[in-house]
Chains A and B, each alone.
Chain A
Amino acid sequence: MREDRILSELEELLGNKRIKYEQNTLNEFEVDYLENSKGKALALVLPNSATEISAIVRICNKYKIKYLARGGGTSLSGGSLPLDNCIIIDLSKMNRILEVNFDEQTVLAEPGVINIEITNVVDQKDLLFAPDPSSQHMCTIGGNIAHNAGGAHTIKYGVTTNHVRAVEIVLPNGEITNFGNGLVDGQGYDLLALINGSDGTLGIITKALLRVIPKPASSQTILLVFDRVKDASKTVSDIIRKGILPSALEMMDQIVIRAIEKSEYKVGIPVDAEAALLVEVDGRKTDVSIDVENIIQICNDNNVRTIQRAKDQKHAEKLWAARKSAFEVVGKQNENYIVQDGVIPRTMLPQTLEKIYEIGKKYDLPIANVFHAGDGNLHPLILFNGKIKKEKTNAIDASIEIIKICADAGGSITGEHGIGIEKVELMPYMFNKEDIELMTKIKMIFDPDLQCNPCKVLPSGSKCMELSAKARE
């Protein structure tokens, strides 16, 4: 059988310790992070190098078997969910930091390096790696690039693509090449930018040259609590209108606040408050003081209930840990959830939240909201009981309605989690037939046989639709 032959060739290449194909081992790798979907893998392999990955890809080509790369498996859009009997190329053990260059302000890392490790390794020289998704203690660099990961600081510092100088990549034909040359500028078409956010569908990253930046001289984190969502939203708009560019501007609603205050991450937010904002400003000390003064003034003009200024670094970290725990605490305290990742123009925040609450009422499901208010990137968490089939389908329908609102408002159906498997059918809300055809042409340039992370990002026929639907049942 074809499958047996490929497994034996892979075992010959890697030895029997670096290939797993027993079903009870594969089970945990076949579910996505939220355990809402289950796919199907043929085997999991653990390569150590680009050369091995190239050989694996060539073997897959020979037998026409599909494959995908996996880092921390934390994708919230099913990006690392194997479909169609894939070989999972697990890069979590390719996790060495190869070179740190403080003078050039770069770090060369293998794709399995965990995001926070990059900042850790340059911290001694007051440098940091800006992209900081909330999963940064578990997610890996390869996945960050694949999804063009964001985090809380994108309003000022951008997303992953703004912090990658070059990648080494195995293309779907097995060739090993580089995109970007490590210099700040290059020539030719920006293939490096194309790879960022391609959800691992154009090749497998084997090394990344990352840019690190100086830590700001000064920063101030402030927690602001509001009785009414309306006042919190207006505060967000007013801050931007005043000409302040915060380094972070996050919002949490009542369900999230209550979940945090019930957990070990609690920070003393009154649980009858409708919304809380976590703001951070950074830069030169005097600029920060001026910005903070202005923010306090704006809050007072908008009926703020309490203002909690971080007294020191430790206090600031505690406030941030609370915010970043949102998905975790909501997840623990509820059976299941679906999280969406739509983006809306910031000025439409108040009416969009209203609509989201209405959708929750319509489907009789609670929807918790935490989001990057500074750049309009929403994360509604639709809570349901996975044991009740109707609730699951309602949750999916609710999440699609929310995405439609974002697309209709001129935003995006995904700000940072990626299309993955989850939003493939929603692509037409943002792109017309020609746009999708063009993206398909690009995909075919890299992967004409559609083997690399199949059925992700682009609508690719009825077989994929069937497999995706089955995975999410």
Chain B
Amino acid sequence: MSDFNNTIKELENEIDKINDDELSKYRIYERTPKAGFAPKNYEEISKIIKESNKNGLKIVGSGGATKLGFGNIPTGYDIIVSSSKFNNTIEYVPEELTISVQSGITISNLQEIVNAKNQFIPIDSIFPNATLGGIIATNTNGILRTSYGSLRDLVLGIKAVDGNGKIVKAGGKVVKNVAGYDLSKVFIGSLGTLGIITEINMRTYPLPEYESTLIIQSNNLDKLRDIVEDIQKYSYPGGLELINSNFGEQLINSEYEWNLLIRYLGHKNSINEQTSKDKKILKKPDGEIQEIDGINSRELWKRYHNILADTYETVIKIMVPITTSTNILKSLNTLQKYSPLIYCEPSLGIIHMQIDSKDKDFGSSEITNMRNEIEKNAGMVIIENTTSTIKKEINSWSNYNNNINIMNQIKNAFDKNNVLSPGRFLGGI
């Protein structure tokens, strides 16, 4: 213990500390770090990591502390390292359609910076103060993934300090780059187990001039599925979300079981033409179609995020073959008694379910049953966030886990003493 205290004292002399009374903000399932730091440069990050290596301490990196609940409970948690002082723009040349930023920049600040030059980055988090580093570490994508792709398509390069205290540069600054091995992508979704991400190079896109959202409501999920199939073929929506009754009620006072939201982005004339056409030619949903456009559409999607942020409790991510999305949604109806918010990207086969699991019977056995059913049919179920009880009882990660041997060796190459984020990742990494 005194070794620990000496180490912390030594670090405190040089590096900005997080006040002890703020450490509870970084709690991960009943484990609170014993100390926290907000380094301002590479030497400081490296020092924290090297000292931790020497003294057997374990570190978790954090940005906005919005998704610390990801993964399994860490097997060690001594120090939190915050990216709050690493939040500058390094280089932004709009004509290059790329931007380099430090990892602690929040997604809302980042969007502001690129919006000012009529560009945007097609990722979002339900938490506006989520940082880009955290977004990458948790592979958080967003609504526009349907048309713009995921982080894997948008991240060009990453700089980090690895678990050995060394600076790692992966990828580059340009869109076309096949020099060496593409290690930048390996950081995506790595939950901070390979390094503390410090800098990121991202693609930017022209900011669409206008947007509109069609809301198609129905009690007949099969009809909505048919509409999705048609839309995918010709309409190029910017986003496609299928939400359940609980979510629809909160978002748009919907009285229907299912609501399909189709978000269009582009030139105003083009969108008006498309939505008029789609309203006429889409198959009848046995329900209603309405359109919300312009600034009202933007506001709708902000509310979408806010609702999800407010109900962020037990969050389960389900991934299935695209064509089985609606069948899986139907099977989730058995969980209706827990009043879940369910949202699905039907053209990607990704479903999220948010349940307030306090004071309810919804627990490990319900999740395990659901997981077994879905994984029997080529799907995967990951528990992103939940209560301590559930996290202790079942694995956050899906049972699909081959190649653990290779992953262990990769972890070892970046972090030989398992200092960073231990135990949270797949396979106990």
- 23 A–B contacts, CB within 8 A, in A order: A158-B149, A184-B348, A186-B319, A187-B426, A188-B404, A188-B426, A190-B189, A197-B181, A214-B232, A216-B236, A243-B118, A245-B205, A283-B266, A286-B270, A343-B176, A344-B174, A346-B96, A346-B97, A414-B179, A415-B178, A431-B169, A442-B181, A442-B410
Which residues of A have CB within 8 Å of B236?
A: 214, 216-217, 283-284
Contact (A372, B402) CB under 8 Å given A183-B380, A184-B348, A442-B181: no
Q: Which of B303-356 contact A (CB under 8 A)?
A: 317, 319-323, 348-350
Contacting residue for B181 out of A162, A198, A245, A412, CB 8 A: A198
Distance in angstroms between the alpha carbons of A370 and B329 in the assembled complex = 50
Q: Which of A162-195 contact B (CB under 8 A)?
A: 162, 177-179, 181-191, 193-194
Distance in angstroms between the alpha carbons of A178 and B380 in the assembled complex = 16
Contacting residue for B407 out of A188, A197, A290, CB 8 A: A188
Distance in angstroms between the alpha carbons of A359 and B267 in the assembled complex = 44
Which residues of A have CB within 8 Å of B422?
A: none
> Cβ of B350 and Cβ of A162 under 8 Å apart?
no
Q: How far is the CB of B103 from chain A (nearest CB, A)?
A: 18
In the complex, the 10 A-B pairs of residues with the closest C-beta atoms, listed nearest first = A415-B176, A193-B185, A243-B206, A286-B270, A412-B177, A441-B413, A188-B426, A197-B178, A445-B409, A377-B176
Closest to A417 in B: B178
Bitwise interface map of B from 166 to 182 toward A, beta carbon under 8 Å scored 1, else 0: 11111011111111111
Q: Which of A89-97, A220-228, A263-271, A432-440 contacts B (4 or more CB under 8 A)?
A: A432-440
Contact (A430, B172) CB under 8 Å given A191-B407, A457-B180: yes
Bitwise interface map of A from 121 to 149 toward B, beta carbon under 8 Å scored 1, else 0: 00000100000000000000000000110
Contact (A103, B177) CB under 8 Å given A191-B403, A237-B95: no
Contacting residue for A439 out of B183, B323, B348, CB 8 A: B183
Distance in angstroms between the alpha carbons of A413 and B172 in the assembled complex = 11
B284 within 8 A of A: no
Which residues of A have CB within 8 Å of B179?
A: 412-414, 419, 423, 427, 430-431
Distance in angstroms between the alpha carbons of A25 and B382 in the assembled complex = 53
Which residues of B have CB within 8 Å of A33?
A: none
Contacting residue for B174 out of A191, A375, A438, A439, CB 8 A: A375
> Cβ of B400 and Cβ of A181 under 8 Å apart?
yes
B274 within 8 A of A: yes
Q: Which of A79-121 contact B (CB under 8 A)?
A: 103-105
B295 within 8 A of A: no
Q: How far is the CB of A401 from chain B (nearest CB, A)?
A: 17
Q: How far is the CB of A73 from chain B (nearest CB, A)?
A: 18
Bitwise interface map of B from 181 to 196 toward A, beta carbon under 8 Å scored 1, else 0: 1110110111000100
> Cβ of B427 and Cβ of A412 under 8 Å apart?
no
B401 within 8 A of A: yes
B369 within 8 A of A: no
Q: Which of B233-263 contact A (CB under 8 A)?
A: 233-234, 236
Distance in angstroms between the alpha carbons of A159 and B175 in the assembled complex = 9
Q: How large is the interface on A (under 10, 10 to 19, 20 to 34, 35 or more residues)?
A: 35 or more
> Cβ of B206 and Cβ of A434 under 8 Å apart?
no
A150 within 8 A of B: yes
Closest to A127 in B: B233
> Cβ of A148 and Cβ of B178 under 8 Å apart?
yes
> Cβ of B182 and Cβ of A184 under 8 Å apart?
no
B94 within 8 A of A: yes
Bitwise interface map of A from 185 to 213 toward B, beta carbon under 8 Å scored 1, else 0: 11111110110111000100000000000
Distance in angstroms between the alpha carbons of A104 and B233 in the assembled complex = 12
Distance in angstroms between the alpha carbons of A472 and B380 in the assembled complex = 49
| Residues of B in contact with A (beta carbons under 8 Å apart) | 93-97, 118-119, 139, 149-150, 152-153, 166-170, 172-183, 185-186, 188-190, 194, 205-207, 229, 232-234, 236, 266-267, 269-270, 273-274, 317, 319-323, 348-350, 378-380, 382, 397-398, 400-404, 406-407, 409-411, 413-414, 425-427
Contacting residue for A187 out of B119, B322, B380, CB 8 A: B380
Contacting residue for A183 out of B173, B189, B274, B319, CB 8 A: B319
> Cβ of A241 and Cβ of B95 under 8 Å apart?
yes
Closest to A244 in B: B206
> Cβ of B178 and Cβ of A241 under 8 Å apart?
no
Which residues of A have CB within 8 Å of B267?
A: 286-287, 290
Which residues of B have CB within 8 Å of A196?
A: 182
> Cβ of B321 and Cβ of A290 under 8 Å apart?
no
Closest to A419 in B: B179
> Cβ of A104 and Cβ of B322 under 8 Å apart?
yes
Contacting residue for B207 out of A216, A243, A344, CB 8 A: A243
Which residues of B have CB within 8 Å of A185?
A: 139, 150, 317, 319, 348, 350
Distance in angstroms between the alpha carbons of A27 and B126 in the assembled complex = 60
Bitwise interface map of A from 343 to 357 toward B, beta carbon under 8 Å scored 1, else 0: 111110000000000
> Cβ of B382 and Cβ of A191 under 8 Å apart?
no
Closest to A282 in B: B236
Given A214-B233, A439-B180, A446-B406, 4 additional A-B pairs, CB 8 A: A150-B176, A162-B149, A181-B400, A186-B319
Q: How far is the CB of A294 from chain B (nearest CB, A)?
A: 10
Which residues of A have CB within 8 Å of B398?
A: 187
> Cβ of A187 and Cβ of B401 under 8 Å apart?
yes
Contacting residue for B169 out of A158, A189, A217, A435, CB 8 A: A435
Contact (A435, B168) CB under 8 Å given A347-B95, A419-B179: yes
Contacting residue for A178 out of B166, B270, B402, B404, CB 8 A: B402
Distance in angstroms between the alpha carbons of A189 and B93 in the assembled complex = 31
Contacting residue for B410 out of A103, A189, A376, A417, CB 8 A: A189
> Cβ of A375 and Cβ of B168 under 8 Å apart?
no
Distance in angstroms between the alpha carbons of A411 and B236 in the assembled complex = 32
Contact (A241, B350) CB under 8 Å given A158-B153, A376-B174: no
Q: How far is the CB of A464 from chain B (nearest CB, A)?
A: 16
Distance in angstroms between the alpha carbons of A438 and B415 in the assembled complex = 11
Contact (A190, B186) CB under 8 Å given A283-B266, A412-B174, A430-B179: yes
Which residues of B have CB within 8 Å of A432?
A: 169
Closest to B269 in A: A286
> Cβ of A183 and Cβ of B320 under 8 Å apart?
yes
Q: How far is the CB of A12 from chain B (nearest CB, A)?
A: 31
A453 within 8 A of B: no
Which residues of B have CB within 8 Å of A241?
A: 94-95
A360 within 8 A of B: no
> Cβ of A434 and Cβ of B426 under 8 Å apart?
no
> Cβ of B266 and Cβ of A284 under 8 Å apart?
yes
Distance in angstroms between the alpha carbons of A176 and B179 in the assembled complex = 26
Distance in angstroms between the alpha carbons of A473 and B413 in the assembled complex = 37
Which residues of B have CB within 8 Å of A32?
A: none
A219 within 8 A of B: no
Distance in angstroms between the alpha carbons of A52 and B274 in the assembled complex = 52
> Cβ of B180 and Cβ of A190 under 8 Å apart?
no
Distance in angstroms between the alpha carbons of A420 and B208 in the assembled complex = 40
Q: How far is the CB of B272 from chain A (nearest CB, A)?
A: 9
> Cβ of A161 and Cβ of B152 under 8 Å apart?
yes
Distance in angstroms between the alpha carbons of A212 and B118 in the assembled complex = 30
> Cβ of B185 and Cβ of A190 under 8 Å apart?
yes
